[in-house]
Chains A and B, each alone.
Chain A
Amino acid sequence: MKWLAFAFLFFATSVNSQTLRIGLAEDPDVLDPTMARTFVGRIVFAGLCDKLFDLDEKLNIVPQLATSYQWSSDNKSLVIKLRSDVTFHDGETMDAAAVKYNLERHKNMKGSNRRGELAVVSSVDAIDASTVRINLAAPFAPLLAVLTDRSGMMVSPKAAEAAGEKFGAKPVCSGPFRFVERIAQDRMVLERYPGYWNKGQIHFERIVYQPIVDATVRLANLRSGQLDFIERVAPSDIPSIRNDGRFKVAKIVEIGYQGITINVGKSDMAQKNPLGKDARVREAFELSLDRDAIVKVAMDGEAQPGNQWVAPSNQYYGKSAPVPKRDVERAKQLLREAGAPNPSFTLMTPTTSDAQRIAQVVQAMAKDAGFDVKIQSTEFATSLNLADKGQFEAYVLAWSGRADPDGNLHTMLACKGPTNYAGYCKEDVESLITQSRTSLDPAQRAVAYDKIAQQVAKDRPIVYLYHRHWLWAHTTKLSGLRTVPDGMVRLQGLKMN
């Protein structure tokens, strides 16, 4: 039997002795699921760490390390059945005790970035080796979705205990590939984990992730054959890639959004400018914008116009608040009614090229209605600080998105949300948000979101503009690519022909 396994291993490696080289748009931060903060880091985790649950192309939640789940009748506890054939990269078994350890680590570790999304988890019980129960202080609908992201990633308790705070330097997870090395700003190398539970789906020996910030250079690397796959292609490059028979383009509407956050109550600055003070001025501002044209000019058409925290194609999109059409005449009239025919405000804009383009297009459009928009281009780190202190009038800010709509809504628009830069706080919206979080029935949640959408569309603490397309380009030899809206590159099933 043993020789058979060896023969199989040998066979497997000789067939799959291939490396997949992926070009990333940024350098990830620390590779510890508990501490990690960046979007791009999640792409690397997709190779490194499996999660309790995963998302499919239609944003359905499907089991990964779990096999099934069951909510209790009061919706205050979730019982998860686990796979029994999963080991970590150090050979340790992934069982209920490991899940309990991991969830507690997420909740208790100093500096954990998962604490917020797991706040409602009160305790975790390992019922038997393959059954775990998560107890909640209150029903929490987004929990499953949260477990499809870093909170659901399981690391080896033994390795985590040994490494302590340094775990991120050499992560030990249970994903298809294990960590080999990382050279900051240059590359992250992963190699195939032979003990992976789903190894039939894995067709590469090595994965190399290379952060290359400049989109042009990233593409040049794909063209010259240094990379097999690149994420976040510049929209303007799409036509030329399409014309090149060697490459294919994949696109997915993101789950995040691009928008303009308006200071409506974050600080007293909100009352000092017409935009923050008067909802009519905000309405006029929104009416002066032509989202289709913004998408066409700023994104070369590679985005879906939208006016809510989820895209119009999402099941939780509030259909009672559709995307408004541009209406400059009405905008002018509103400004006259508000007694400010030529309102002026400052639009804080990070120095990224996307944001700068949006700001300039918005500036030109709003001018038609009489607005005098001053662009205040601000380095990103500084802009965050100013936003946090409420020292801004309007702010071009994107959100990378979460699988559950709550992740796109709660932290920005709930009264105490940590990124509620608008300073928005409405009692009825607050209770609706709570309702949408505590109800597990999708139909009920949809009703709540529809009501929130209507109110937010009137108050406009955030003027949502569009939802980008995740644009990927890869060699035509690559097949089996799954386009999931969270923008992660799943390696299961990927194959080089």
Chain B
Amino acid sequence: MLNYLLKRLATIVPTLFFVSVLIFGLQQLLPGDPAIALAGEDRDPSVVAYLRAKFHLDEPLPVRYWYWLSGVLHGDLGESVRIQKPVMELILEKLPVTIQLAAMAMLIALAIGLTAGVISAVKKDTAWDYAANVFALWGLSTPNFWLGILLILLFAVELGWLPASGYVSPFEDLGANLAAMIMPAFVLGNAIAAVLMRHTRSAMLQVLSSDYVRTARAKGLNERVVVLKHALRNALIPIITLGALEFGTLLSGAVLTEQVFSIPGFGKLIVDAVFNRDYLVVQGVVLFTATVYITLNLLADLAYFLVNPRMRV
């Protein structure tokens, strides 16, 4: 056990190293001189020169990487060139928004995915199974930016029930906050529901055919009790651990969803920064999310390991 844990932990360092090289490389290789992109409409040569010097843009790549890395190792992710704010501050500012969005999306995904998964497992190979499958799949198959636009049109413009976009802090006005977040959360959750539905279905099928459930049934328990109390509860652990791995999908989806709904979270932060060549922001935020992702991965692995110690990844 301890051995496995240590082994797993030991892989984190090289992985993070490669993450840092990857995003640094990608970001630095982007065409378009950040200094020119950031120097504004006038592109005054003295400003360009100043930005070049300030961000070491004229130095060779490894040197620049070293500047960045040594900063990161000291907990300094650098500063946004565009708005002169430390990247760490930006991350902390956006973190609650993204966490809320992700949590709400996950809740919606669980609600849809679990229901559809349980139904399709219980009613295996019937029209119900097929319908649940298609229903879950529709989420996986809808481009989320398109769904977002359609929802805005319907609920904000035509019906006027929800605000079109924007973000209100929950501490300011919880109602307004939920009203603004429900559409983007649905759009995001929708996409993950399908994955969760599949996990639920296969986990449920496995549990339903186990001796344990057979015994419960043999005892003459109500089928509903068997399914919900005995089977689902046992199937939940793998579902939730696998669900945690969908965090990456969530962030990917958030990129466009946040763009469409003007939600000031990580996705919007990264995309705008890529296009503005505010490269320290891109590097810092991606490194941060990657770290979170890897940590979640590790926790999920450990949970899995605890549940099923025979398993070796």
Contact = CB atoms under 8 A, between A and B. Distances in A.
Interface of A: 27-32, 35-39, 110-113, 115-117, 165-166, 168-169, 182-186, 210-214, 216-217, 220-221, 223-224, 226, 379-386, 388, 399-400, 411, 418-419
From B41, B157, B275, residue with most partner A Cβ within 10 Å: B41
B163 A221 contact: yes
B54 interface: yes
B146 to A, nearest CB: 13
Contacts of B47: 37, 111-113, 115
Given A184-B85, A184-B93, A221-B165, A27 B272 contact: yes
B3 interface: no
Contact of B264 (A38, A169, A184, A226): A184
A252 to B, nearest CB: 19
Contacts of A111: 47, 50-51, 54
Contact of A169 (B42, B84, B260): B84
Contact of A213 (B41, B259, B276): B259
From A31, A184, A211, residue with most partner B Cβ within 10 Å: A184
B54 A29 contact: no
Contacts of A117: 42
A186 B264 contact: yes
Given A111-B54, A224-B157, A382-B32, A29 B90 contact: no
Interface string B262-276: 101000110010011
Interface in B22-62: 30-34, 36-47, 50-51, 54
Given A30-B82, A185-B264, A217 B42 contact: no
Given A168-B83, A184-B264, A381-B277, A220 B37 contact: no
Contact of A29 (B83, B269, B277): B83
Interface in B257-313: 259-262, 264, 268-269, 272, 275-277
Given A113-B40, A223-B157, A381-B275, A29 B32 contact: no
A70 to B, nearest CB: 29
Contacts of A27: 272
Contacts of B259: 213-214
B149 interface: yes
B164 interface: yes
Given A216-B149, A399-B41, A185 B272 contact: yes
Nearest to A407: B42
A37 B41 contact: yes
Contact of B262 (A30, A36, A212, A419): A212
B254 to A, nearest CB: 13
B156 interface: yes
Nearest to A399: B41
30 contacts: A28-B83, A29-B40, A37-B42, A38-B40, A113-B42, A113-B44, A115-B46, A169-B84, A184-B90, A185-B262, A185-B264, A186-B167, A214-B259, A216-B149, A217-B164, A220-B157, A220-B164, A221-B164, A223-B164, A224-B160, A224-B163, A224-B164, A226-B164, A380-B275, A381-B31, A381-B277, A383-B32, A386-B31, A411-B42, A418-B42
A217 B37 contact: no
Given A29-B40, A381-B30, 14 more contacts: A29-B83, A110-B54, A111-B54, A113-B47, A115-B46, A186-B167, A220-B157, A221-B165, A221-B166, A381-B34, A381-B277, A385-B33, A388-B36, A411-B42
4 closest A-B pairs by CB = A37-B40, A220-B164, A381-B32, A186-B264
Nearest to B90: A184
From B33, B54, B166, residue with most partner A Cβ within 10 Å: B166
A35 B268 CA distance: 24
B118 interface: no
A66 B34 CA distance: 38
A168 B83 CA distance: 8
Contacts of B30: 381-382
Contacts of A217: 152, 164-165, 260-262
A298 B164 CA distance: 26
A111 B90 CA distance: 22
A110 B34 CA distance: 17
Interface of B: 30-34, 36-47, 50-51, 54, 80, 82-85, 90, 93-94, 149, 152-153, 156-157, 160, 162-167, 259-262, 264, 268-269, 272, 275-277
B264 A37 contact: no
A439 to B, nearest CB: 23
Nearest to A167: B84
A37 B37 CA distance: 11
A250 to B, nearest CB: 21
B50 A110 contact: yes
Contacts of B84: 30, 32, 35, 165-166, 168-169
Contacts of B264: 183-186
B83 to A, nearest CB: 5
A113 B84 CA distance: 15
Contacts of B156: 220, 223-224
Nearest to A116: B44
From A110, A210, A213, A224, residue with most partner B Cβ within 10 Å: A224
Contacts of B44: 113, 115-116, 418
Contacts of A380: 37, 275
A68 to B, nearest CB: 29
A166 B269 CA distance: 21
B59 to A, nearest CB: 18
A166 to B, nearest CB: 7
B78 to A, nearest CB: 14
A165 B213 CA distance: 68
A216 B54 CA distance: 38
A265 to B, nearest CB: 18
From A28, A117, A379, A411, residue with most partner B Cβ within 10 Å: A379
Given A113-B40, A381-B32, A184 B269 contact: yes
